[in-house]
């Protein structure tokens, strides 16, 4: 599993040589191929099968400008999805803080075992949502925080987050029947449970509705066709500098496309995706701290901080 990169602001010169967290390692084979093509075009002076390709920088400049606009739109669309995912998980933190405070302060105090069960349901729901979005196995985390009927209720469930939210609502309904809270207080709990479902629905909307595939294919083809045409338009003016200029321009366009593809699905495990493990751990810690529990030590595994 890759780690999300969270890096302190670097000196401008050091940033020129940043490797970890950039998309350059994944692009090297493609850039190498484009460099080779540009080298061959330069060697043969833009001649293919005795035909001199009649390209010059003017149409390539105009076409490159239009391509840059489309790439900018593509990256904006991808970043909007990334930021929407981050806002949803930020809302999740606020909701769980509110639920913990309500559980501890509204109505008559519940027993320690009941408090612990509610807290564990909250924490388990976080990890359930993370695994649901990443399409990974949640068994280990569920067994860590749940037991008895709560564990059995989610063991075979597909949407474990929704099931655990329902279990929390059942905890509140039982508190109402026991007279520990009144109808108004129960309604306040229900408002936050509805907000939890809104967060789940928002995350599912992002994961289940990708940017249209045909649009991505069109942009992908256009980028590489443009990069393959570049050496024919530059070779007469730049000579043996052509392969280096082509690779530099290609790096810009191809990297933009690669970054957009990476952050389009913000809940994955790529270097620039959201650090869901760290977010789960943050919410877990704040919930435990509010409830007076022991806060576990250690850093979440999917966030790599470089000093």
Q: Indicate whether 166 belongs to any domain.
A: yes
CA distance 104 to 92: 18
- pLDDT at residue 24, as a whole number: 81
pTM of the model: 0.84
For 262-295, the DSSP string reads HHHSTTSSSTTS--HHHHHHHHHHHHHHHHT-PP
Element (H, E) at 69: helix 57-105
pLDDT by residue for the chain (307 residues), tens digit each? Answer: 445 555 566 666 676 767 676 788 888 999 999 999 999 989 988 788 778 888 888 888 888 888 888 888 889 999 999 999 999 999 999 999 999 999 988 766 667 888 889 999 999 999 999 999 999 999 999 999 998 899 999 988 999 999 999 999 999 999 999 888 889 999 999 999 999 999 999 999 999 988 888 888 888 899 999 999 999 988 888 889 999 999 999 999 999 888 888 889 999 888 788 899 999 999 999 999 988 766 666 555 454 333 3
Tokens of 149: 């009927």
Q: Indicate whether 17 belongs to any domain.
A: no
Phi, psi at 304, each rounded to 5°: -110, 110
Rounded to the nearest 5 percent, the helix, strand and coil shares of the chain are: 75, 5, 25
> What range defines the domain where residue 210 resides?
4-11+22-306
Total domains, the chain: 1
Q: Indicate whether 16 belongs to any domain.
A: no
- pLDDT at residue 287, as a whole number: 92
β-sheet bridge partners, residue 7: 306
Neighbours of 159 (CB within 10 A): 14
- pLDDT at residue 6, as a whole number: 55
Q: Indicate whether 42 belongs to any domain.
A: yes
R_g over Cα of the chain? 26
Give 296: exposed, middle or buried? Use CB within 10 Å, 0-12, 13-18, 19+.
exposed
Q: Indicate whether 258 belongs to any domain.
A: yes
Q: Indicate whether 298 belongs to any domain.
A: yes
Q: Indicate whether 65 belongs to any domain.
A: yes
- pLDDT at residue 248, as a whole number: 92
- What distances in angstroms separate CA 229 from CA 216, 243, 259, one per listed residue? 20, 12, 23
CA distance 290 to 109: 15
Q: Indicate whether 105 belongs to any domain.
A: yes
């Amino acid at each position: 599993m890759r780690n999300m990169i969270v890096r302190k602001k670097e000196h401008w010169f050091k940033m020129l040589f940043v490797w970890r967290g950039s998309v350059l390692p994944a692009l090297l084979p493609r850039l190498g191929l484009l460099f080779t093509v540009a080298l061959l075009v330069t060697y043969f002076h833009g001649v293919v099968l005795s035909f001199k390709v009649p390209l010059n920088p003017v149409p390539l400049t105009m076409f490159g400008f239009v391509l840059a606009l489309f790439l900018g739109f593509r990256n904006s669309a991808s970043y909007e999805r990334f930021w929407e995912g981050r806002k949803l998980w930020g809302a999740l933190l606020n909701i769980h803080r509110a639920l913990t405070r309500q559980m501890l302060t509204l109505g008559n105090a519940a027993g320690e075992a009941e408090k612990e069960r509610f807290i564990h349901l909250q924490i388990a729901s976080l990890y359930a949502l993370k695994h649901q979005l990443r399409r990974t196995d949640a068994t280990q985390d569920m067994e860590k925080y749940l037991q008895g009927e709560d564990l059995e209720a989610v063991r075979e469930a597909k949407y474990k987050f929704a099931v655990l939210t329902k279990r929390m609502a059942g905890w509140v309904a039982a508190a109402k029947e026991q007279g520990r809270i009144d109808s108004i207080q129960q309604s306040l709990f229900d408002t936050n449970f509805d907000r939890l479902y809104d967060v789940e629905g928002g995350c599912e909307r992002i994961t289940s509705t990708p940017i249209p595939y045909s649009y991505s294919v069109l942009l992908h083809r256009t980028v590489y066709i443009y990069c393959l045409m570049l050496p024919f338009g530059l070779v007469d003016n730049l000579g043996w500098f052509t392969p280096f200029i082509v690779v530099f321009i290609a790096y810009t366009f191809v990297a933009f496309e690669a970054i957009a593809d990476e952050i389009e699905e913000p809940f994955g495990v790529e270097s620039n995706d959201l650090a869901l493990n760290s977010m789960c751990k943050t919410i877990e810690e704040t919930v435990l701290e509010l409830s007076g529990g022991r806060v576990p030590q250690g850093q979440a595994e999917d966030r790599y901080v470089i000093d």
